[in-house]
Chain A
């Protein structure tokens, strides 16, 4: 475990600090509001996705492997490459044809987003048990807010050790071996610390050592535009310390606001707190097929049943669904996924099924499916009750007398799924002209 313990004076305040007032002051000093955390621990798993593939297929570990880019295009490129492939000259972003000519034994893998997302979710779940402030920054990079954890876990060193030992229980050994950790004030410094850490040797940067620690780090760590980094490189500015030597007016004149921000980060004056990430708990329904299914009709029918089950779940709490995904575990390993974000959140099975079926039509499962899962992961306002008695069908035509509106039928079906019978009644006339008021109308159970 490396720990930077250089003594240094507190960084002088910069005349370039953006704005003034309480909000700006909070941004500068990183004093959190609510559950924000100034002390940040960055956990970084480089080439997270490729490592997950190697964990899934250990036989590939000793070969040259590359993960294909998931971005559609006419020319297929590489996304991540293994160390062995890199030794042969294969690089991320390279065309497949170039990579294969450099390394004929290269194994190419299709990306499996569902698998990677599930692994990231498992990580977040474990880390959420350690601290309430967890903020993911893409797959394989997670910030944890560590403010106030001293009383629970002890010194920063013990805090990091506690987090890593929790990870060790869920991460496979090859992934754990690649995990890098950096603890520092603010997300930027924590990220720089993690990027400079070696696997298994976290870097802890105390407050007083922040500026000297940052001074020796490369400018490429700055979260600014690529063009700014390229120009700094052309100017011969390699480290954050060298950046601080550029006069402030020149920096602002050249790079504008980005220059001012870059200087604030480099000087350790801008501390971005870790903010708790809110994600609604997804609602899932899963179906295991007795034999793998490849027929579209069977998958559609299974999708309908899963949507009904997911919509009937109590956890949905009447909310409409804004985004849903269908995930399939494929025969022979691997997974497949389609996602749909609804323009108008809906709580109707047909509306959701239509969108998801369309997506499945565009990107069908490449092999037979063993397990199908429907997941609602983003929600809208509660389903619109105003449309419950809408006397128009999907095409906008007026319903004829006696026809039950589709929305009402759907609501009754949902209630029956939950309660076992329809609890709705309809008011019917018994003797409307009776002089005894309670004899005029009655309630008749409604079950279309």
Chain B
């Protein structure tokens, strides 16, 4: 691997997520534009690395109304 450079891929960035009363995402805003969520494919929660830096996130794989999939997560206390 000498001379090879490695870079992270898919680092998270901040987006706006509107949720309904049940906590299901119904709109996602990236930049200045907000689009409705047409499908929520999957949801999961992680509570990890409690022994080092605790990592607690609520993930959802959503599909916006323009067909673009996104994987937003909610940071506990965020």
A442 CA to B48 CA, complexed, in Å: 21
Number of interface residues of A (CB under 8 A): 13
Inter-chain CA distance A427–B8, complex, in Å, is 10
In the complex, are the beta carbons of B7 and A442 less than 8 A apart?
yes
Q: In the complex, what residue of chain B is closest to A440 when comparing beta carbons?
A: B10
Contacts of A441 in B (CB 8 A): 9-10
Chain B residues with CB below 8 A from A401, complex form: none
Task: Indicate whether B41 reaches chain A with its CB closer than 8 angstroms.
Answer: no
Known: A425-B7, A435-B59, A442-B6. 6 other contacts (CB 8 A): A425-B5, A436-B46, A437-B71, A438-B8, A443-B7, A445-B6
Docked complex Cα distance between A387 and B59 (Å): 39
B4 contacts A444, C-beta separation under 8 Å: yes
Is A447 among interface residues, defined by CB-CB distance under 8 A?
yes
Whether A445 lies near B46 (C-beta < 8 A) is no
A427-B9 contact given A437-B71, A444-B4, CB 8 Å threshold: yes
Report B-chain residues with C-beta under 8 Å of the C-beta of A447. Answer: 3-4
Task: Tell me if B44 is interfacial: C-beta within 8 Å of chain A.
Answer: yes
Q: Interface size of B by Cβ–Cβ distance < 8 Å?
A: 17
| 24 A-B pairs in the complex with CB atoms less than 8 angstroms apart | A425-B5, A427-B9, A436-B46, A436-B48, A436-B57, A437-B59, A437-B71, A438-B8, A438-B10, A438-B12, A440-B10, A441-B9, A442-B6, A442-B9, A443-B8, A443-B9, A444-B4, A444-B5, A444-B6, A445-B4, A445-B5, A445-B6, A447-B3, A447-B4
From 31 to 78 in chain B, residues with beta carbon under 8 angstroms from any chain A beta carbon are: 44, 46, 48, 55, 57, 59, 71
- What residues on A are CB-neighbors of B48 within 8 Å? 435-436
CA distance A436 to B55 in the complex (A): 10
Nearest chain B CB to A425's CB is how many angstroms away?
A: 6
**In the assembled complex, B11 has its CB within 8 A of some CB on chain A:** yes
In chain A, positions 279-313 with a C-beta closer than 8 Å to chain B are: none
Total of A-B residue pairs, C-beta within 8 Å: 39
A379 and B30 CA atoms in complex are apart in Å by 42
What B residues does A436 contact at CB under 8 A?
46, 48, 55, 57
CB-based nearest B residue for A441: B9
Question: CA separation between A441 and B7, bound complex, in Å?
Answer: 10
> In the complex, which residues of chain B have a beta carbon less than 8 angstroms from the beta carbon of A440?
10
Evaluate contact between A442 and B8: CB separation under 8 angstroms. Answer: yes
**Most central of B8, B10, B44 by chain A CB within 10 Å:** B10
- Chain A residues closer than 8 Å to B3, beta-carbon distance: 445, 447
Residues of B within 8 A of A444 (CB): 4-6
Interface core residue of A425, A427, A436, A444 (most chain B CB under 10 Å): A436
- Shortest beta-carbon distance, A431 to chain B, in Å? 12
A158 to B9, CA, bound (A): 69
CA distance A445 to B6 in the complex (A): 6
Beta-carbon contact of A437 and B5 below 8 Å: no
8 closest cross-chain pairs (CB), A and B: A445-B5, A443-B7, A438-B10, A441-B9, A443-B9, A445-B4, A442-B9, A435-B46
Across the interface, which residues of B come within 8 angstroms of A442, CB to CB?
6-9
Closest to A421 in B: B5
Cα distance, A445 to B5, chains bound together (Å): 5
- In the complex, A268→B59 CA distance in Å? 84
Cβ proximity bits A20-33 to B, threshold 8 Å, 1 near / 0 not: 00000000000000
Chain A positions within 8 Å of B11 at CB level? 438
Which residues of the partner chain B approach A427 to less than 8 Å between Cβ atoms? Answer: 9
Residues on A with C-beta less than 8 A from B9 are 427, 438, 441-443
- Provide the A101-140 mask, 1 if CB < 8 A to any CB of B, else 0: 0000000000000000000000000000000000000000
Q: Which residue of A lies closest to B44 (CB)?
A: A435
A446 and chain B: residue at smallest CB distance: B4
Q: How far is the CA of A267 from the CA of B12 in the complex (A)?
A: 79
- Residues of the A chain whose Cβ atoms lie less than 8 Å from the Cβ of B71: 437
Closest Cβ neighbor of B8 among chain A residues:
A442
List CB contacts (< 8 Å) of A414-448 with chain B.
Answer: 425, 427, 435-438, 440-445, 447
The CA of A443 and the CA of B10, in the complex, are separated in Å by: 10
Q: 1/0 contact trace for B3-29 toward A, CB 8 Å?
A: 111111111100000000000000000
Q: How far is the CB of A402 from chain B (nearest CB, A)?
A: 16
In the bound complex, what is the Cα–Cα distance between A139 and B58 (angstroms)?
77
Name the distance in Å between A423's Cβ and chain B's nearest Cβ: 10
Complex partner residue of A443 from B6, B46, B57, CB under 8 angstroms:
B6
A104 to B4 alpha-carbon distance, docked (Å):
73
Residues of chain B with a CB closer than 8 A to A425's CB: 5, 7
List the B side residues contacting A437 at CB < 8 Å: 10, 59, 71
Assembled-state Cα–Cα distance A435/B4 (Å): 27
Shortest Cβ gap from A404 to chain B (Å): 15
* Chain A 342-368: CB-based contact to B (< 8 A → 1; otherwise 0): 000000000000000000000000000
Residue of B nearest to A438 (CB): B10
Q: Which residues of A contact B8 (CB under 8 A)?
A: 438, 442-443
